């Protein structure tokens, strides 16, 4: 398999900047941060986007201004993008396929009489 | 796998409405087209703050000032969502700024027109944000994931922009004779540039076919423009004003409004830098970027210092 022409640009969304494509970013550019927001107590933090900031404190403050102007959140997580490691979409098949043939993991696999209640 | 297979797989995904994500294989031209479109879009949001920002300090009431401030702040946010989306394609933020500041990248020509009176703020909200919404709503389903997600966020915020503009015009249209005149004058000046916002007509935009095939775009420029004209021709009646087009007429057969010829010469003139405010807008952006340099440097220095201190404490 010739993968030479598969260019990868691992910026933004899924981090790993250092492993990424051509970067013309000068040293002066603030690092990139991925922003996760909990919209309501009881819910998970969800990825909402990214932004640049000099440090974590500033990333949180900017995230408040950029992503929660309409009360979209009650809690913010920031993670520097380069610290996020992602699975490779080219390996998706091998990675997720084994789950396909294990239908017995689903409750609908089991054939039980209709009289059986509360199960 | 050969390039040919990769392209087939890619197009299959597109045809099946499966979004393309940053790490997926994509044709180089797709990536380039997106970078150009998304960054141009981001630049437009950022430069778009300038004409309206002009009126923040002179808004006629505290209510209007608060609304305008919130709207302009939203536009800054839109620029940031879009820059981030473009960055996932492998271009850096500084590179994009550089392209804007050197005039290599374009932004929407509409922002090269001046805002002469308060009524212009209303006309921009109604017409310019209105045209933007027409364009942006289908982009919420565009094939590139990060772009589509950014647009969902943008669209949620846009609707208040248009409504506040229409409301401001509505107040003027029910005001004194002078206010009515101001309202009509602003509509007269902003109408045609807004109609041009949809870009060159379909037979003049050679990239449309590919963009449609890749589902970056879902409607052609002319389709969106027609939709916009149809909607505005009705809305203007509520204002008791008119649109400056003697050829604007309902066409029963087509079920659409006919409208007059667009002055494409003016359009290309403004695109190529000869609009009334091109130089002023770009100069303002550049100055803001240069004047902010010391802040960026200071923040970096502060962050480094703090990191060093934490390292010492941890040791
Ligand atoms: Fe916007
Ligand atoms: Fe807007």
Q: Is the pLDDT assigned to residue A12 strictly greater than 90?
A: no
Mean pLDDT calculated for residue range B122-127: 98
Kindly state the percentage of chain A with pLDDT values over 70.
76
pLDDT in tens, B125-173: 999 999 999 999 999 999 999 999 999 999 999 989 999 999 999 999 9
Closest CA to B106 of B20, B37, B159: B37
pLDDT of residue B2: 74
CB spacing of A89 vs B94 below 8 angstroms: no
Mean pLDDT calculated for residue range B181-207: 94
The yes/no answer to whether this complex scores an ipTM above 0.90 is: no
CB spacing of B95 vs A8 below 8 angstroms: no
Rounded to whole angstroms, the Cα distance separating B35 from B40 reads 8
Mean pLDDT calculated for residue range A52-58: 95
Dihedral (CA of B192, B196, B202, B204) sign: positive
CB spacing of B303 vs A58 below 8 angstroms: yes
Q: Quick one: closest CA in A to B152, which residue? A: A48
pLDDT of residue B273: 87
CA B19 to chain centre: 23
A18–chain B Cβ distance below 8 A for any pair: no
pLDDT in tens, B217-248: 999 999 999 999 999 999 999 999 999 999 99
Q: How far apart are the CA of B71 and the centre of ligand 2, in A? A: 7
A12–chain B Cβ distance below 8 A for any pair: yes
3-state secondary structure of A83: helix
For residue A111 the two structure tokens come to 């054939």
Mean pLDDT calculated for residue range B98-113: 94
pLDDT of residue B47: 97
Rounded to whole angstroms, the Cα distance separating B168 from B182 reads 12
Residue to substitute from B70, B83, B91, interface A, most A β-carbons within 10 A: B91
Q: Is the pLDDT assigned to residue A8 strictly greater than 90?
A: no
Cβ contacts from A onto B, under 8 A: 101
Query: What pTM did the predictor assign?
Result: 0.89
Mean pLDDT calculated for residue range A81-91: 86
Distance from CA of A34 to the nearest CA of B (A): 10
Distance from CA of A107 to the nearest CA of B (A): 28
Rounded to whole angstroms, the Cα distance separating B183 from B249 reads 22
């Amino acid at each position: 398999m010739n993968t030479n022409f598969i260019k990868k640009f691992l910026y933004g969304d899924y981090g790993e900047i250092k492993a990424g494509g051509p970067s013309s970013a000068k040293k002066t550019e603030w690092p990139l941060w991925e922003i996760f927001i909990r919209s309501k107590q009881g819910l998970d933090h969800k990825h909402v986007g990214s932004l640049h900031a000099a440090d974590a404190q500033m990333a949180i403050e900017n995230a408040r201004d950029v992503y929660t102007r309409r009360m979209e959140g009650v809690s913010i997580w920031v993670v520097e993008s380069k610290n996020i490691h992602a699975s490779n979409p080219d390996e998706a098949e091998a990675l997720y396929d084994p789950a396909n043939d294990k239908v017995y993991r689903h409750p609908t696999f089991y054939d039980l009489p209709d009289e059986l209640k509360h199960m | 796998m050969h390039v040919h297979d990769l392209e087939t797989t890619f197009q299959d995904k597109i045809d099946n409405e499966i979004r393309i994500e940053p790490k997926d294989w994509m044709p180089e031209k797709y990536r380039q087209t997106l970078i150009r479109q998304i960054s141009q879009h981001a630049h437009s949001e950022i430069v778009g703050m300038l004409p309206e920002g002009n009126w923040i300090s002179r808004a006629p009431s505290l209510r209007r000032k608060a609304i305008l401030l919130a709207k302009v702040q939203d536009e800054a946010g839109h620029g940031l969502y879009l820059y981030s989306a473009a960055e996932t394609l492998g271009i850096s933020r500084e590179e994009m700024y550089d392209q804007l500041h050197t005039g290599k990248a374009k932004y929407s020509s509409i922002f090269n027109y001046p805002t002469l009176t308060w009524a212009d703020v209303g006309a921009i909200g109604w017409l310019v944000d209105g045209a933007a919404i027409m364009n942006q709503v289908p982009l919420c389903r565009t094939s590139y994931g990060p772009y589509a997600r950014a647009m969902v966020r943008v669209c949620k915020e846009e609707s208040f922009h248009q409504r506040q503009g229409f409301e401001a015009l509505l107040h003027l249209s029910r005001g004194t004779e002078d206010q009515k005149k101001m309202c009509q004058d602003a509509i007269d000046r902003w109408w045609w540039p807004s109609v041009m916002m949809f870009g060159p007509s379909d037979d003049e935009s050679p990239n449309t076919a590919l963009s449609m095939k890749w589902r970056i775009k879902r409607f052609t420029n002319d389709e969106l423009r027609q939709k916009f004209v149809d909607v505005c021709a009705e809305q203007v009646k509520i204002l008791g004003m008119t649109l400056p087009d003697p050829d604007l007429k309902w066409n029963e057969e087509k079920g659409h409004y006919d409208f007059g010829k667009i002055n494409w010469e003016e359009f290309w003139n403004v695109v190529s830098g000869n609009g009334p405010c091109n130089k002023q807008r770009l100069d303002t952006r550049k100055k803001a970027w240069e004047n902010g340099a010391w802040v960026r440097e200071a923040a970096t220095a502060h962050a480094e210092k703090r990191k060093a201190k934490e390292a010492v404490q941890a040791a």
